[in-house]
């Protein structure tokens, strides 16, 4: 693998991991375009680490707030009674409740995704270029439907187990190459009546265990490939994935709040059509 190929793979992974255009589908198409017989497994592992760091950095304030709220809930409640020196304000209490409310839906959706995703990977093949293209067209349809959905008003404390299960199922379907994980989870959140900010934030909080799980699954087989790749190309690919991931995630969060994720649908229609015609 050349440096140019490594750079291209990293850029595509970082951009398509978060934008609702399917990173797996783009990597599959790019692999064919670059003439790569197989992308080394170690590259997949490193790129997952890079994009995981990107989402943690972008959502660091929310992640720290959730962990702090969990810590306070478990260990500090008795010392924060009204009138005590450590009593919290009503605003702080509401914020703590809001942050804690994310935890059960994240756990529920992650379990649902894991079960469904494992079954899909065991039963269904990854698919050829035309199959991937058809799945991209399906993603385009889902994104297009968000344009006609009335904006919801439910926040983290109103996600509940039913909506979490629905979003988890949507994320599980994102295991298919050509179907966007972020596109499915964001759309599912909007369809379930979540407000735009919550739908976007929830989707990317869910990406942390999802990307981490994918990293662990590939890590077990990656050690044997350490000697077959260039460390320089690994570093280049990882930096490209990290930088492009940061930019694409920040861009998408703004687009979600503006209700514009359906803008990606025409792009997927064009790409899917090209895949069907020339795949």
| DSSP per residue, 10-76 | HHHHHHHHHSTT-HHHHHHHHHHHHT-S---HHHHHHHHHHHHHHHHHHTHHHHHHHHHHHHHHHHT
- For the chain, the domains span 3-124+151-262
Contact assessment for residue 73 and residue 100, using Cβ atoms and an 8 Å cutoff: yes
The whole-model pTM stands at 0.87
Tell me the per-residue pLDDT of 175-209, one tens digit each, with 9 for 90 and over.
Answer: 888 899 999 999 999 999 999 999 999 999 998 99
Tell me the per-residue pLDDT of 55-83, one tens digit each, with 9 for 90 and over.
Answer: 999 999 999 999 999 998 888 755 454 44
User: In the prediction, which pLDDT does 240 show?
Assistant: 93
The C-alpha atoms of residue 192 and residue 181 are separated, in whole angstroms, by 16
The C-alpha atoms of residue 202 and residue 208 are separated, in whole angstroms, by 10
Tell me the per-residue pLDDT of 79-120, one tens digit each, with 9 for 90 and over.
Answer: 454 444 455 677 778 888 889 999 999 999 999 998 998 788
Confidence of residue 10 (pLDDT cuts 50, 70, 90): confident
Average pLDDT, the chain: 84
Phi, psi of 149 (to 5 degrees): -85, 130
Alpha helices in the chain, H assignment, sequence order: 3-18, 23-34, 41-58, 60-75, 90-100, 103-123, 129-145, 160-173, 181-191, 196-219, 231-257, 264-278
């Amino acid at each position: 693998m050349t440096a140019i190929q490594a750079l291209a793979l990293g850029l595509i992974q970082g951009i398509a991991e978060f934008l609702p255009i399917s990173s797996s589908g783009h990597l599959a198409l790019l692999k064919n375009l670059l003439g790569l017989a197989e992308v080394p497994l170690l590259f997949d592992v490193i790129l997952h680490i890079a994009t995981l760091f990107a989402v943690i950095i972008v959502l660091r304030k929310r992640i720290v707030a959730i962990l702090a709220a969990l810590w306070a809930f478990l260990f500090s409640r008795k010392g924060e009674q009204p009138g005590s020196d450590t009593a919290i304000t009503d605003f702080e209490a509401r914020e703590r409740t809001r942050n804690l409310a994310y935890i059960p839906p994240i756990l529920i959706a992650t379990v649902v995704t894991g079960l469904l995703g494992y079954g899909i990977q065991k039963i269904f093949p990854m698919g050829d270029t035309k199959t991937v293209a058809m799945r991209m067209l399906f993603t385009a349809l889902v994104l297009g439907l968000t344009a006609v959905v009335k904006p919801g008003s439910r926040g983290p404390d109103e996600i509940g187990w039913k909506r979490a299960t629905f979003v988890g199922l949507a994320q599980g379907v994102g295991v298919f190459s050509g179907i966007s994980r972020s596109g499915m989870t964001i759309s599912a959140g909007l369809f379930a009546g979540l407000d735009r900010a919550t739908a976007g934030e929830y989707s990317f909080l869910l990406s942390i265990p999802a990307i981490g799980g994918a990293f662990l699954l590939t890590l077990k087989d990656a050690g044997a490939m350490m000697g077959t790749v260039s460390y320089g190309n690994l570093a280049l690919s990882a930096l490209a994935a990290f930088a492009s991931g940061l930019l694409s995630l920040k861009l998408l969060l703004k687009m979600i709040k503006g209700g514009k994720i359906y803008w990606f649908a025409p792009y997927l229609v064009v790409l899917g059509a090209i895949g069907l015609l020339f795949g």
